[in-house]
Amino acid sequence: MAFNLFKTNKQQEAQTSQEQQETPSSLSPHLHKIAEENKDNSITYEEHGYRIAGQCIGDLNALETALNTATLEIKFRQSKDQAYQAKCKQGIEGEIKLLEQQKQNLTDLKEKHNSNIEDFKQKQENLKTDIAKLRDEANRLKKNPEELGVDVDKSSRLSFIIGTTILTFLTLYLFTFYSSAAYSAFFKVFSIEDGAIASIFDPSALSSAYNDGVSELVLILLIPFVFLGLGFILHLSQKKKTIKGYITAGTLILVTFLFDAILAYDITKKLYELNRSNSFSTDMPEYSVNIAASDVNFWIIIFSGFLVYIIWGLIFDYTMEAHAESDKLTYRLKIIRDNIREIETKIETIYPSIEIEKNAIREIDSQIANLLLKITEKEARLDHTWHDTIYLKQEVYNFFQGWLRYIKGSPRPNTQPHQDKFNEFYNKL
């Protein structure tokens, strides 16, 4: 069989061994001669084995030495075969290039993560700059608000305090008036000694209502809030400088006036009927709207409630405007503080993103380190001499077949000891 030193890449990569270059320096002269002949592929290793067996006269003790010598010959030939060595190294070089490309890809990815970290840090710095600007604006507002376009009326704070004080007392007045008037209109039993003023401002209205029942007390306590609620709605309507707002405000004033008129009419009617029933005159007519319109007590009751209600609404509106004026600076500072807190929250949310990028970089560094280790290992393999184990075993087997052929033709053709020794040697290859 002629020498076939070239196998497929797959065979070479899977089945070659990394052995140091060996030279058959200890070859006997006749084996060296055979090796020189094999350079020209003049004989096969089977024929070579047959010749060596003849030289050794089929000595079993010489078999292992002959097999070792033949193995060294085969390895030596492969080590000198530049085409084969280049082909074996070509696959390793391809693997190295692939690993280098993977390393470069990871390096590029690492740079991208580093760039992301820099972007996140720059974003944080920009946000911190924004916070610094807002805090500077807040300090400037406190020192000179007009400089930043915040026109603060310094008298508005005093106006707000005065308006709140007056509004408090008017509220107490309206509460007392409407609770007393409601009690007089709905529940009170008048006597001849009661006058209009005593009917309106009854100091015992709450205690009398409490004695009469809880529901009666609750009713006269809640009625004043009806008028206060109407006054608050009136304030909201006046803020809308529209036709609808003016119509709503006028309607509320009219409703309040009618409510007051009904209470005044009911109270003055009870007083009139009481006087009429106790009068000796028989020409007193029944109480009517015309009589109420000419009754001074009717108008006293209306203006004691309705006029104060209008004043309360105007002062409430004025007090709210004063509060809004005095609160311009506070409101502006509150907006700044809210913006600062919002920006600080954004800064805090960036830190986890930076940590994610750092973890990714650490993972990439670990992968690059593993690739560098593999590249180093494969580069070291380029300096090795490559041997085709399959080819080596095949030629050693062919060599032994030639040896057996000689034994079988010898006077003592006992091949089994030779086969056993060969099997032991072959399994170690």
Convert the pLDDT of each residue in 355-405 to its tens digit.
999 999 999 999 999 999 998 888 777 777 767 788 888 889 999 999 999
pLDDT at 152: 53
Contact 313, 231 (CB under 8 A): yes
Helix and strand counts by DSSP (H, E) for the chain: 16, 2
pTM for the whole thing?
0.43
Percentage helix, strand, coil, to 5, in the chain?
A: 80, 0, 20
* Residue 53, C-beta contacts closer than 8 angstroms, at least 6 positions apart: 66, 402, 403, 405, 406, 407
Q: In whole angstroms, give the CA distance from residue 243 to residue 227.
A: 23
Per the model's pLDDT, the better-predicted residue between 205 and 5 turns out to be 205
Contact 402, 46 (CB under 8 A): yes
pLDDT at 360: 94
Q: Highest mean pLDDT: which of 137-141, 217-221, 285-289, 370-374? A: 370-374
pLDDT at 26: 38
Look-up: residue for tokens 């390096």?
107
pLDDT at 239: 64
pLDDT at residue 7 above 50? no
pLDDT at 226: 75
Contact 178, 305 (CB under 8 A): yes
Look-up: residue for tokens 């604006």?
137
Separation of first and last alpha carbons in the chain: 21
pLDDT at 323: 72
pLDDT at 231: 72
Q: Which two tokens stand for residue 29?
A: 């002269």
Give the residue among 188, 237, 193 at the shortest CA–CA distance from 212: 188
Give the residue among 275, 256, 287, 251 at the shortest CA–CA distance from 177: 256
Q: Percentage of residues in the chain with pLDDT exceeding 70?
A: 74
pLDDT at 194: 57
pLDDT at residue 151 above 80? no
Q: Percentage of residues in the chain with pLDDT exceeding 90?
A: 19
pLDDT at 299: 82
Q: In whole angstroms, give the CA distance from residue 367 to residue 358.
A: 14
- Across the chain, mean pLDDT equals 76
pLDDT at 240: 61
pLDDT at 31: 46
320 confidence band (pLDDT: 50, 70, 90): confident
pLDDT at 114: 93
Give the residue among 73, 98, 101 at the shortest CA–CA distance from 3: 73
2 confidence band (pLDDT: 50, 70, 90): very low
Contact 70, 394 (CB under 8 A): no
Q: Is 269 helix (H, G, I), strand (E, B) or coil?
A: helix
Residue 154's identity, in one-letter code, is K
B/e letters for 397-420, b = 16+ CB within 10 Å, e = fewer, are ebbbbbbbbbbeeeeeeebeebee
Contact 263, 299 (CB under 8 A): no
236 confidence band (pLDDT: 50, 70, 90): low
Q: Give residue-wise pLDDT tens across range 99-133.
A: 999 999 999 999 999 999 999 999 999 999 999 99
Residue 20's identity, in one-letter code, is Q
Residue 288 DSSP code: -
Question: Quick one: average pLDDT of 413-429?
Answer: 88
Least-confidence region, from 48-52, 187-191, 256-260, 390-394: 187-191
Q: In whole angstroms, give the CA distance from residue 306 to residue 229.
A: 14
Per the model's pLDDT, the better-predicted residue between 229 and 343 turns out to be 343
Q: Give residue-wise pLDDT tens across range 167-201.
A: 888 888 887 777 777 777 666 656 555 555 665 66
Q: In whole angstroms, give the CA distance from residue 5 to residue 27.
A: 22
Per the model's pLDDT, the better-predicted residue between 284 and 253 turns out to be 253
